Amino acid sequence: MKLEVYRRELKQYTINTEIKNILFIASEIAKKYNKEVYLVGGQVRDIMLGNESSDVDFVAVENAMDFLEKLYERIGGEKRYYKNFLSGSIELKNGINIDVTTARKEIYENPGALPIVFKGSLSEDVKRRDFTINCLLVDIKKLPDLEILDFVGGIRDLNNKKIRILHEKSFIDDPTRMIRAVRFAYKLGFEIEEDTKKLLFDSVEKGYIRFVSEDRIFREIVKIFLSNKKYIGIRILYEYRLFQNTFLSDYIDEKIIEYFRIIDDELPLICELYNITIESMQVINLLVLFHNIGSNYLLGLFDKLNIPKKIRKIIVSIKNNYKYVNNLINKDKISTVTIYKIIDLVNIEGLIYFAITNFDNNIFIKKLIEYSEIYNNMKLFVSGENIKKYDLKPGPIYKRIKDELIFNIIAKKAYTEKEQLEILNDIIKKNKRWYNDGDN
């Protein structure tokens, strides 16, 4: 590898203020303690491209943990060590994640296995990385001057918009790089370089990805969900047959890809109307990804994929109520009360998921949009305790009262506690004999 050195000024580039502060603090530490530390990876790439990134990666030629400790003393956060990988991290409350590694070399004993790690030189550390555009280094002691070290033609590939692996065994060593190649290509608007693409297809044919654990594959797919172009990413993975030989092998089809297109192209208005959070959107993405998977197989997958219990509960609830909710949606007469019932049964994530899978049902989508005002304004103040005050014993009658109450609250847009209690009182008065003589 021939080292090329490029010199720029940091002020040429637009960098997030919080990231810039971290870089200058790191630079002060490196200068004070004479440490050979470099900014590396995606942050350098994104600085050059003018993109924002919340990840900061440093590589130290000697003891990275000492540098990490000194950085932690200055900026705080949550600190972790990964001794087997000669690395550590700091996670800040503002969402910025800092990784610090000792320069290392890696040996892969088998395709898809985690590497055996040894201390190494700076050039050896570069060789272990995935793509040339992620191999650029910045000597942080030189800041505010930006001295960029390029061992592998990363600047060339940035300029030519190419995704290129470093050696022909790259996809064999770590088959998840095939998924990353696709993600970087569509995320950055780059092309996968021809030789790299040939090696990718060859690795797909030979099925190397089957040696990778389900959770590692899953983590790479979840990163695709963070993009507003997830449909493109999922479609390319499907066309390149990258789901083949994975836990999703039999479950991704044209229908699933169309659902992701709806999420990207059709759903933003509905998500805005319902104030869908990033966290809820991730649950919705998972619901679509798992759409074709039966409950029994899915329950076995949850542990392998390390799905949080809260998300498992939502997914299982929706799977269990799928037919019932679909029948509600596809009745001849659907009302805004139906939308309330769906949210009550399967949460807001479930409602949006059913909007995706029933997007051709114009009546349902229209009612869903109409209901958004009610959803954002309505809070149910009346409970079973209020009904008890009318000397009605708990039983099926409570549900009948609640259903009528909800219908009237929605119809009359009764958003205050006073209005809702008045409606409850009217319902009881008008139907007192029926309630007393009914199935109480």
Instruction: Report the share of the chain in percent with pLDDT over 90.
Output: 64
CA angle 17, 142, 154 (to 5 degrees): 80
| Residue 176 tokens, joined | 């998840």
Q: What is the pLDDT of residues 48-91, one digit of tens each?
A: 998 888 899 999 998 889 999 999 999 999 999 988 778 999 99
- 270-279 long-range Cβ contacts below 8 angstroms, 24+ apart: 270/352, 270/355, 270/365, 270/368, 270/369, 270/372, 271/352, 273/369, 273/372, 273/376, 274/348, 274/351, 274/352, 274/372, 274/375, 274/376, 275/376, 276/348, 276/352
- Residues 179 and 220 sit within 8 Å (Cβ to Cβ): yes
pLDDT at 116: 87
pLDDT for 189 equals 94
Tell me which of 250 and 2 has the higher pLDDT: 250
pLDDT band at 13 (very low <50, low <70, confident <90, very high): confident
Pick the CATH number of 161-265 from 1.20.1370.10, 1.10.3090.10, 3.30.420.40, 3.40.50.10320: 1.10.3090.10
- What number of residues does the chain have? 440
DSSP 252: -
Say whether pLDDT at 439 is over 60. Answer: no
**What is the pLDDT at residue 440?**
47
Q: Domain-by-domain residue ranges, the chain? A: 4-159, 161-265, 266-326+348-365, 384-437
> Between 418 and 331, where is the model more confident?
418
Give bridge partners of residue 107 from the DSSP assignment: 116
Residue 436 binned pLDDT confidence (cut-offs 50, 70, 90): low
Per-residue model confidence as pLDDT tens digits over 83-118: 877 899 999 998 899 999 999 998 898 888 888 888
**161-265: same fold as 4-159?**
no
Q: Using one digit for the tens of pLDDT, what is the confidence trace for 118-143?
A: 888 999 999 999 999 999 999 999 99
* Triad 242, 302, 321: Cα angle to 5°: 105
Count CB-CB contacts under 10 A for residue 351.
Answer: 25
Domain range 4-159, CATH architecture? 2-Layer Sandwich (3.30)
Mean pLDDT of the chain: 90
Task: Tell me the mean pLDDT in the region 374-387.
Answer: 82
Q: Encode burial over 275-312: b for 16+ CB neighbours within 10 A, e otherwise.
A: ebeeebbebbbbbbbbbebeeeebeebbeebebeeebb
- How far is Cα 43 from Cα 55, in angstroms, rounded to an integer? 7
Q: How far from the centroid of its chain's Cα atoms is residue 312's Cα?
A: 16
Q: Dihedrals φ, ψ of 228, to 5°?
A: -85, 10
DSSP 88: E
The whole-angstrom separation of Cα 112 and Cα 103 is 22
Instruction: Tell me the C-alpha distance between 197 and 181, whole Å.
Output: 9
Tokens of 184: 């970087």
Residue 37 dihedral angles phi and psi, to the nearest 5°: -130, 140
* Residue that the structure tokens 């009359």 belong to: 412
